[in-house]
Structure 1
Amino acid sequence: MEALPKHHFLLIPWPAFGHIIPFFQLAKRLADAGISVTFLTPSSVFPRLPPLHLPHHLSLISFHPLSLPLIPELPEATTTSDFHIPLRAAFDALQPLFQTLLPKLSPKLIIHDFTSYWLPEIATTFGIPTVYFSIFNAASLAYLIVPHRVTGKSFPPTAADLTSSPPGFPSSAVYFHPNNWKGLIHFLSLKSPALNAFLEATWSSSDRAMS
């Protein structure tokens, strides 16, 4: 008789393929450890994911379609390569859905992306722990969003800020070249709740790891 899964985890990536694929790889690694995984993402994403071949992946990884609320600016396209700003609004509008969905799925743990900044508070009401899974490497985060950059004289950082290492950074030889920082400055200037939550989640995760 096949052994029952050890645990059931719920994975909720931000619906952009740069986020979905790392979460998908994580789902397979969890299944390798005997953990049952529910992968929550818009149904339009499913046909575009790499196929699962291993028997234990097929039996332990399930996909739950995520129905995004209707937003006037958001057509049937449901990934950030299509419509970034309306998609973010639709994703934020999912909060009431999770109030009813979490008790039904009843996961032992939720692994979420930075845009689900409101999810831990909802999960806490059902006694479900959450983990923020960052797809960004630690070196990039340490360089870009150290508290000095955000709580210093100005935010977002200027080109001059990004082309020099922050105070206390281990090496002054690490810096952005001019052709690298333009897109970053635009991203950091969005001033969105999701971006603020990303910064807060990253700091909180780092604090917990160090404590």
Structure 2
Amino acid sequence: MDRTEKLHIAMFPWLAYGHTMPFLEVSKFLAQKGHQISYISTPKNISRLPKLPPHLSSNLSFVEFSLPHVHGLPPGVESTSEVPIEKVPYLKRAYDKIRDPLSDFLKNSNVNWIIHDSLPYWLPGIAAPLGINLVFFGIFNASSFAFAGPPSALLGDSRKRPEDFTVVPEWIDYPSTT
């Protein structure tokens, strides 16, 4: 790719302030470089974001998708800050239902890349047929991901109790004093 080529990048964060803000900061950085950014979220989450500096408004636009209703999720909820922890699974189900409007948006736009969060497991199935590249943006640092472990560990049976997550995991085999 030519370094002067300008891209259209879609940003797709999870519905939590601790995710939306880092995604906005990356969006602003990329927009300053001249790339076209489509920041995708729900109306309430977008309304909570700080105002953009005027010089970025031509390169950064907000794309709003209403959060579909899911039985068990209180009406009007669009963020983890609006529900107790036990209701977050319902928010995740509603987030998954953004799949269809997001797919329609991607089919009718010229998006080159999608920078996404960890939750839309279904996104590769939409992006690949459209020839759209995906980039995972994890808001956690590398040591957090190392501690969580590889997918095989996450799916395995070795860590089930909360106490299992308070010790150095077996796959971290370098010396430690803990």
With structure 1 as the length reference, what TM-score do the two structures score? 0.72
The alignment partner of 1:111 has SS state of: strand
2:128 to 121, 124, 127: 124
* Percent identical residues: 32
Corresponding residue number in structure 2 for 1:178: none
Structure 1: gaps of 5 or more residues: 176-211
Change (3 A) 1:171 1:105: farther
Structure 2: gaps of 5 or more residues: none
Q: Tell me: higher relative CO, structure 1 or 2? Use CA pairs within 8 A at least 6 residues apart.
A: 2
Which whole-Å CA distance do the structure 2 matches of 1:46 and 1:79 have between them?
Answer: 11
Which whole-Å CA distance do the structure 1 matches of 2:112 and 2:34 have between them?
Answer: 14
Asked whether the equivalents of residues 149 and 157 of structure 1 are also in contact (C-alpha less than 8 Å), the reply is no
> Does residue 141 of the first structure (1) align with residue 140 of the second (2)?
no
Matches for 1:136-175 after TM superposition, within 5 Å: 136-146=140-150, 149-150=153-154, 153-156=157-160, 158-160=162-164, 162-173=166-177
The alignment partner of 1:125 has SS state of: helix
Size of the aligned set, in residue pairs, is 170
The alignment partner of 1:110 has SS state of: strand
- Over aligned residues, Cα RMSD in angstroms? 2.3
Asked whether the equivalents of residues 11 and 39 of structure 2 are also in contact (C-alpha less than 8 Å), the reply is yes
Corresponding residue number in structure 2 for 1:79: 79
Corresponding residue number in structure 1 for 2:13: 13
Matches for 1:31-110 after TM superposition, within 5 Å: 31-55=31-55, 57-74=56-73, 75-83=75-83, 84-110=88-114
With structure 2 as the length reference, what TM-score do the two structures score? 0.84
Deviation per residue, 1:171-209 (Å, 9 max, x gap): 413x5xxxxxxxxxxxxxxxxxxxxxxxxxxxxxxxxxx
Which whole-Å CA distance do the structure 2 matches of 1:151 and 1:87 have between them?
Answer: 22
Change (3 A) 1:150 1:112: closer
Give the AA of the match of 1:70.
H
Which whole-Å CA distance do the structure 2 matches of 1:49 and 1:151 have between them?
Answer: 35
Which protein is richer in helix relative to its size?
Answer: 1
Give the AA of the match of 2:49.
L
Asked whether the equivalents of residues 10 and 39 of structure 2 are also in contact (C-alpha less than 8 Å), the reply is yes
Change (3 A) 1:73 1:5: farther
Report how far residue 154 of structure 1 moved: 2.1
Asked whether the equivalents of residues 7 and 35 of structure 2 are also in contact (C-alpha less than 8 Å), the reply is yes
